[in-house]
Amino acid sequence: MVVKMKLFKLIYTLLAFLMLFSNSVIASISYADFNNNFVINIKLISFTHEKLKGIKELLESDKTEEALKELHLIIEEAKNTNDTLLFIEGTKLLADIYRENGDYKKSTLHFNKIIPLLETNYETLQYVLFKKGGNFQLDGLVDSALVNYEKAVIIGEKVQNHENLKAKIHGNLSGIYYLKENYSKAIIHSKIAANYQNKLGNKEIEAGILNNLGGIYYMQGRYNEALQVFKKSILIVGFGQEDLQKQTRNSSYINMAYAYSALKNYKKAFEYQDKYFSLNDSLQQELKYKEIAEIESKYKVAAKEKETEIEKAKRLKAEYLLFGFGFAIFILLSGIFVLYKLYKLSKKNHALQISQDELVYQSTIEKIKSDSQSKILAATLDGRLEERKKIAEVLHDNVSALLSAANLHLFAGSKQIKGKFPVEIEKTQKIINEASEQIRDLSHKLISSVLLKFGLSVAIQDLCEKSSNSAINLTSVSKNIDRFNKNFELKIFNIITEMVNNMIKHSEAKNGTIKIEQLNGKLQLIIFDDGVGFDVLEISKKSGIGLNQVKARISVLNGIIDVKSSNSGTRIYMSIPIEY
């Protein structure tokens, strides 16, 4: 029995050692995760100055480059007009943008520009020093980060409230001191940070800080104190089922397993190690379910359409069977009636039978027409497009060439005329030149010459530039777009043109964007605007051109379309197999 117990302890000790070695000490992992929670998202920053609200809208639309250009102009204007508040807020925002994009040196440089202007503005000064410390920390300059965090703590004594920012500063200071192996100061700042989070009611963050604090005790060999802190962390998050609560509880379980192992209580160590593995497996499974759900949502539209087609086919089959059965009974009864009345009404019944046959035939034609509506509409549009293409080619290649030839003959003939040049020839040349220009313009309207020469990417950009005006601004984003089959490009361009026309006529939008990308043999199209939107179901019920026309064309191209619209804008997603 003693031998078994010794073997049991030896195995667990080896397992614990391997886990500690692979994780590079529990506390350091916890602090790394904790510090990442302090990155402030630009989209959540509030702006008090009216001129910066437009910059916020550009950032939220992922137009960072345009936002930077306008922001530099605003900052320059603030300098020239001595608008200190605008200069401070604009420069602070510029520093945050550089930070978000990983340029920590430029971010720090812009923060330094406004520090001399913040002598009595303690709240902003505390924020700037905190962000500077974060820049240095992310850049690996631990000592510089420590100096700025310490300054932020001192300034924070003059600031009322703002406990959330203060908690972050102390939490990061604890992490810095931990890295410098000054565990006593790391413990002090962890306790302060946990106390602030407790006052704010942020239980999950407080529990995470306590896990870090327990890790520091562990590194000092104070295993009992570490164990108590880990237990407190579990008590705070309880058995909540939110992701952060589960992750925090999971960290506490493995930390307690380490602590119990260090105290040579291997039974408890195994118990909490099992809890850790069980919960960790559950978290991994949930993550897998989420990934599956995301994949399912991507194909939800296609699956729904396929399901609708199957149901429609079943319903149509049932209608045909019912109609056939009813028709058979009707014919049988009509035949009996005809035989009974044959000697009196032979001619009349014959005419009636012909009328019935025509009615059945017409009814069958209507059914087929209803089923094939999308294909017919798409074929009609394709025919119209092909006709426009032929007309454009005839105008450009034949008529235009003939007019040019006629003009050349007139020019050559005029050179042979001696004496006064007839005014009728000059007028004829002007008329021919004007006709040539009108034919060339008409040819380009029928089929985009930019599309034929340069392809979809350039043609869409040209369409956006030509369609933009004082009421609406249209932009395009293209990625990995090559040249495709000419007819395929014409069809896609025609679809985009139709959507742009609808946007301009009906959306009342100020901004519209067309994104196009080649991905895995399919052309991905996303068209969105910030207009008033429309009722998708109501539009789908209406027949004719517009959205239904686009849906019919995409259906024939074996693609999918998903339309989402609300009073804040419309988003249309299309995925179409590419024809090379």
Do 565 and 457 sit in the same domain of this protein? Answer: yes
Residues 17-50: pLDDT tens digits? 333 333 333 433 333 333 333 333 333 344 556 7
Q: For residue 482, give the 3-state DSSP assignment.
A: coil
Distance in angstroms (rounded) separating the CA atoms of residues 59 and 370: 48
Beta strands in 245-402 (DSSP E): none
Q: Residue range 515-537: average pLDDT?
A: 91
CA distance 514 to 499: 10
Range of the domain at 423: 372-447
Residue 181 forms part of a structural domain: yes
CB burial of 241-258 (b: ≥16 within 10 Å; e: otherwise) equals eeeebbbbbbbbbbbbbb
Radius of gyration of the chain (CA): 38
| 293: in domain | no
Q: What is the dihedral of CA 383, 388, 390, 394, to 10 degrees?
A: 160
Residue 267 lies in a domain: no
My answer on whether 441 and 535 are in the same domain is: no
Q: Are residues 13 and 73 in the same domain?
A: yes
Do residues 18 and 162 share a domain? Answer: yes
Please give the model's pTM, rounded to 2 decimal places: 0.45
Has residue 386 been placed in a domain? yes
Domain boundary among 212, 229, 244: 212
**Which segment of 185-194, 285-294, 314-323 scores lowest on mean pLDDT?**
285-294
Q: Do 206 and 191 contact (CB within 8 A), yes or no?
A: no
Q: What is the pLDDT of residue 337?
A: 64
519 DSSP β-pair partners: 522
Specify whether 362 is located in the same domain as 490: no
Question: DSSP assignment, residue 545?
Answer: S
Q: Which two tokens stand for residue 187?
A: 């413990």
CATH of residue 547's domain is 3.30.565.10
Does residue 286 lie in a domain region? no
Torsion angle defined by CA atoms of residues 227, 233, 239 and 244, in that order, rounded to the nearest 10 degrees: -130
Q: Which two tokens stand for residue 154?
A: 């001192």
Q: What is the CATH number of the domain that holds 141?
A: 1.25.40.10
Average pLDDT over residues 434-457: 70
Which of the listed residues 212, 236, 265 is the one where a domain comes to its end?
A: 212
Nearest to 156 by CA among 134, 123, 131: 123
- Looking at the fold, whether 442 and 339 belong to one and the same domain comes out as no
- Which among 178, 195, 212 is the end of a domain? 212
- Flag whether 70 is in a domain: yes
Are the C-beta atoms of 149 and 168 separated by less than 8 Å?
A: no
Is the pLDDT at 232 greater than 70? The verdict is: yes
Number of domains present in the structure of the chain: 4
Residues 474 and 504 occupy one common structural domain: yes
Residues 380 and 342 in one domain: no
Looking at the structure, tell me whether residues 51 and 165 fall in a common domain. yes
> What's the chain's average pLDDT?
76
In 3D space, the residue among 253, 254, 237, 233 whose CA is nearest the CA of residue 245 turns out to be 237
